[in-house]
């Protein structure tokens, strides 16, 4: 096991070196050939660890975003080869199904762009408006999944890169919607803005399916995913029916995470309180507090 960990660390260091080469704008093909043995076997965890290392060293998020898609294109072959089906459990399953539903809608938009009618602007506007629903997919990641992952391993602390990508997609959605709503927006402007939107949203699906979800499934178990699904009750599930097991949910975890939290002591100015004492205090509060 020790030897395997050393091998993994060495491979990750080489992935970091490859990314540093991209940051320095070195010639891509030469870089690939130099690190090819590692790049052809790279894993999601190694990618997270490498990007976290650069982030922790102070590399600007904007600079990391500049090389992200280039590196994913190189990692893609290896990630496809080792990709495992998403387990039909809890939040992971619903994030995956939402991604599939999004891809279907992006394809419809592509079809409209390839075969435009005289009313293309009127036809596309409701399709783009519908994509606004997908923001709840990103919110579930930001508010539920990411906090879990950040507690599991240090290399997930670099998830701020994905937050930045979410914000970029939100901006592109607003820009595309504004263009379609404005008759003065030219056909060329429309194609550029919609192309950037489709590229961004489709690219995020690939990053989730090839890197984020596989890495998350390596460190989270079925109970974690079920707990996260319950905590997602306050959000919608874009393009899907709500999960049936959320019908009576309050939006709070009733599984392991809740138990772990309630085992802790609440520190007050006069000392500490046990979970039972805390419950008694809240039970005595007026209903309208």
Smallest CA-to-CA distance from 21 within 53, 62, 67 is with 67
- Predicted TM-score (pTM) of this structure: 0.81
Report yes or no: 139 and 235 within 8 Å, Cβ to Cβ: yes
Tens of pLDDT, residue by residue over 186-231, are 999 999 999 999 999 999 999 999 999 999 999 999 999 999 999 9
Burial of residue 189 (number of CB atoms within 10 Å: 0-12, 13-18, 19+): middle
Domain edges within the chain:
2-82, 90-246, 255-289
Q: In angstroms, rounded to a whole number, what is the distance separating the alpha carbons of residues 27 and 32?
A: 9
Smallest CA-to-CA distance from 239 within 128, 102, 123 is with 102
- Cβ neighbours of residue 214 closer than 8 Å, sequence gap 6 or more: 44, 79, 82, 83, 84
Report yes or no: 38 and 11 within 8 Å, Cβ to Cβ: yes
Q: Which of 89-98, 212-221, 276-285 is least confident? A: 276-285
**Region 25-37 average pLDDT:** 95
| Paired tokens of 149 | 């992952």
CATH 1.20.120.520 holds for 90-246:
yes
Match 């504004």 to its residue by tokens.
178
pLDDT of residue 245: 65
Report yes or no: 156 and 149 within 8 Å, Cβ to Cβ: yes
pLDDT of residue 215: 95
Q: In angstroms, rounded to a whole number, what is the distance separating the alpha carbons of residues 153 and 158?
A: 11
């Amino acid at each position: 096991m020790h030897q395997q960990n050393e091998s993994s660390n060495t491979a990750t260091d080489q992935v970091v070196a490859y990314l540093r080469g991209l940051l320095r704008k070195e010639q891509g093909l030469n870089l690939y050939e130099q690190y090819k043995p590692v790049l052809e076997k790279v894993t999601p965890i190694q990618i997270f660890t490498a990007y976290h290392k650069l982030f922790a060293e102070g590399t600007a998020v904007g600079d990391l975003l500049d090389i992200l898609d280039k590196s994913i294109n190189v990692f893609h072959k290896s990630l496809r080869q080792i990709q495992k089906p998403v387990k039909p459990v809890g939040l992971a399953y619903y994030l995956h199904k939402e991604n599939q539903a999004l891809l279907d809608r992006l394809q419809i938009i592509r079809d409209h762009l390839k075969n435009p009618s005289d009313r293309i602007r009127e036809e596309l506007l409701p399709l783009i408006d519908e994509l606004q629903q997908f923001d709840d997919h990103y919110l579930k990641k930001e508010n539920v999944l990411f906090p879990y992952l950040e507690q599991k391993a240090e290399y997930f602390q670099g998830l701020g890169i994905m937050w930045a990508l979410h914000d970029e997609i939100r901006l592109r959605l607003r820009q595309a919607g504004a263009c379609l709503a404005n008759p003065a927006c030219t056909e060329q402007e429309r194609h550029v803005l919609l192309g950037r939107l489709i590229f961004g949203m489709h690219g995020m699906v690939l990053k989730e399916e090839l890197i984020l979800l596989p890495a998350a499934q390596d460190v989270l178990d079925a109970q974690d995913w079920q707990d996260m699904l319950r905590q997602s009750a306050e959000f919608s599930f874009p393009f899907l029916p709500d999960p049936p097991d959320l019908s009576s949910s309050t939006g709070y975890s009733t599984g392991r995470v809740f138990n772990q939290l309630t085992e802790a002591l609440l520190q007050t100015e006069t000392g500490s309180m046990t979970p039972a004492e805390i419950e008694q205090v809240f039970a005595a509060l007026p209903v309208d507090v």
